[in-house]
Amino acid sequence: MRTPRLSAVSFLCGMAWIAAVGVAGAQQYPNRPIRFVVPFPPGGGNDIVGRIVALRLGDALGQPVVVDNRGGAGGTIGTDLTAKAPADGHTMLINNISLAVNHTLIPKLPYNTLKDLAPVSLIGRQANIVVVHPGVPAKSIKELLDGNRKMGQGHQGVRRET
């Protein structure tokens, strides 16, 4: 009967030792300022939300959170910078739907959205509206689409070939 008891005590001591080594080797996070990449120019919706989140995140973590606007290519430049940053949690990205759709619009993205980035949190939802010049005769989405079909072109915003 001593063998099972000795095995249990040895196992528990070993687990306690492993836990102690893990705690001793762990560094407090964050241990330096956090870079919060906004892949769009200053002043837009993502920038405003990013600055609000960065301020609150800095307060919660006790470390500065620096907003780094890296606009261009529909969010690709800043997203690529984040994807290639060290995986230490000190570089974060705030993005919008372009993160999900750019791989369908830009054939050779310099990063793989699913492999190079990991989702952390949904921080909000944004309402979008469709507006046109008052001279456009469309009064509904159907009328707008019918009119665009007659013209034979459309434009999403990231790429345009006209």
- pLDDT tens string for the chain (162 positions)? 455 555 554 545 445 555 554 554 556 889 999 999 999 999 998 999 999 999 999 999 999 999 999 999 889 999 999 999 999 999 999 998 888 888 888 889 999 999 999 999 988 887 778 888 898 888 999 998 887 777 666 555 555 444
CA atoms within 13 A on the CB side of 72: 7
Output the six-digit token pair for 119.
């989702």
What per-residue confidence (pLDDT) applies to 151? 66
Distance CA 47, CA 67 (A): 8
What are the residue ranges of helices labelled H in 38-123? Answer: 45-61, 76-83, 98-105, 113-116
Say what the pLDDT of residue 125 is: 83
| Residues near 133 by beta carbon (within 8 Å), at least 6 away in sequence | none
Give the predicted TM-score (pTM) of the model. 0.67
- Looking at the DSSP bridge assignments, the partners of residue 69 are 38
Answer whether the bond into residue 30 is a cis peptide, omega within 30°. yes
Q: What span, in angstroms and rounded, lies between the C-alpha atoms of 100 and 95?
A: 9
Map out the domains of the chain with their CATH numbers: 34-116 (3.40.190.150)
Helix and strand totals (H; E) in the chain = 6, 3
Judged by DSSP in three states, 2 sits in: helix
Q: Please give the structure tokens belonging to residue 36.
A: 């919060």
